[in-house]
Chain A
Amino acid sequence: MPLKTLVIVPAYNEEARIAGVLHGIRQYIPHADVLIVDDGSTDLTREVALRAGAKVISHPFNLGYGAALQTGYQYALMKNYEGLVQMDGDGQHDPSSIVDLLAIVQKGEADIAIGSRFLEAKEIASTPPPYRAPLTRRLGMKLFGMIASLLIHQKVTDPTSGFQAMNRRVLEWVSGDRFPCDYPDADVIIMLHRAGFQILEVPVSMFENQDKKSMHGGWRPLYYVFKMFLSIFVTLMRE
């Protein structure tokens, strides 16, 4: 008996890609409900998603990726879902991997399954090129992956992966005020571990987005590194 599952997809100005994402999700897990969290898009993301038959929540203005995720979590909690999958609205996450992520949570092998693009790749005949982030991002992922691995005594290869599946216990936790809405990633993993949840990384495939404009430019990488170190540091100081 599959868990009552919601797939949440935070999206900001993805009118060109959101229909494809929805289609992919329906193809692989037709039994799950889908919620698009439109984070104050200024284009037709909402209209396109509604027309494709998805449920859409729209923020009155842009609140950021973390807040959009949290709105999705709170909705799932409110509607009594038992399982939740989150994936990006830009088409980078391969929907076929949802099945693998959900299976872990359904079987109770972990409370939260995190998709990693760096674990062994899946063999598919004609895959689009695998995701290759710019150098600074890769270094950041490597660094915080190592720090997270050290702190949770478990290998973390893809700390920034937003491709995850979780059970209701984790859902309750992330819906609360402990969830850092400002760039959630490695620090969330550390916090989840400290909260006593079982975390498991699962190999997934991710695609490259050729025309995607980077959200990491200018001073942002510096702020990101600062914020991550501070967040991890205070997490260790709590309880």
Chain B
Amino acid sequence: MSAAMPIRYKILAIVISIGMLVLIIELVRRRKLREEYSWLWLLTGSVVLFLMVWFDLLRWITHQIGAAKPSSTIFLFAFLFLVFISLHFSVVISKLTNQVKELAQRNALLETELQEMKRQTAPSQAGSS
């Protein structure tokens, strides 16, 4: 019976996966989440849902990886996906940080140039800033 999963467990997992998919799609619809960052969440939710529906596949995978129960497999997948999502976001944040730094620097240089130009064109009116 180690490969069995109580029906309540299954229903819970299915409800949560569907709920997650609906939530992600709704966030994209409301433009709070960009499509490019939604794919990993949708993939996770879909995979969990798929495995709960096709239970034999889940049992087979459980056996292959040597886990004791199918729920362990689900937890493992969910955990791995969370790690990947976090890593993905770390990479995105790194890129954004670089871009913000560059924009801030360019902005500062532009402001300086602008002030110098203003001082040149109206020397009598320019006050010290």
Which A residues are within 8 Å of any B CB, using their own CB?
60-61, 177, 180, 182, 223, 226-227, 230-231, 233-234, 237-238
Bound together, the chains give a CA A223 to CA B34 distance in angstroms of 13
Size range of the chain B interface in the assembly = 10 to 19
Closest residue of chain B to A177 (Cβ to Cβ) is: B31
| Number of residue pairs spanning A and B whose beta carbons lie under 8 angstroms apart | 30
Which B residues are within 8 Å of any A CB, using their own CB?
25, 28-29, 31, 34-36, 38-39, 42, 99, 102-103, 106
B79 to chain A, nearest CB (A): 23
**Is chain B's binding surface mostly helix, strand, loop or mixed?**
helix
Residues of B within 8 A of A238 (CB): 29
Contact B103 A60, beta carbon cutoff 8 Å: yes
Contact A230 B38, beta carbon cutoff 8 Å: yes
Given that A60-B103, A61-B102, A226-B39 are contacting pairs, would A234 and B34 also be in contact in the complex, using a CB cutoff of 8 Å?
no
B105 to chain A, nearest CB (A): 9
Given that A233-B25, A238-B29 are contacting pairs, would A223 and B39 also be in contact in the complex, using a CB cutoff of 8 Å?
yes
Residues of B within 8 A of A233 (CB): 25
Residues of B within 8 A of A60 (CB): 99, 102-103, 106
Bound together, the chains give a CA A202 to CA B103 distance in angstroms of 40
Residues of B within 8 A of A227 (CB): 35-36, 39
Q: Which are the 4 A-B pairs with shortest beta-carbon distances? A: A234-B29, A227-B35, A237-B29, A234-B28
Contact B29 A182, beta carbon cutoff 8 Å: no
Bound together, the chains give a CA A223 to CA B38 distance in angstroms of 11
Closest residue of chain A to B43 (Cβ to Cβ) is: A226
Pick the contact of A230: B28, B99, B103, B106 (CB < 8 A): B28
B124 to chain A, nearest CB (A): 31
Contact B99 A61, beta carbon cutoff 8 Å: yes
Residues of A within 8 A of B34 (CB): 182
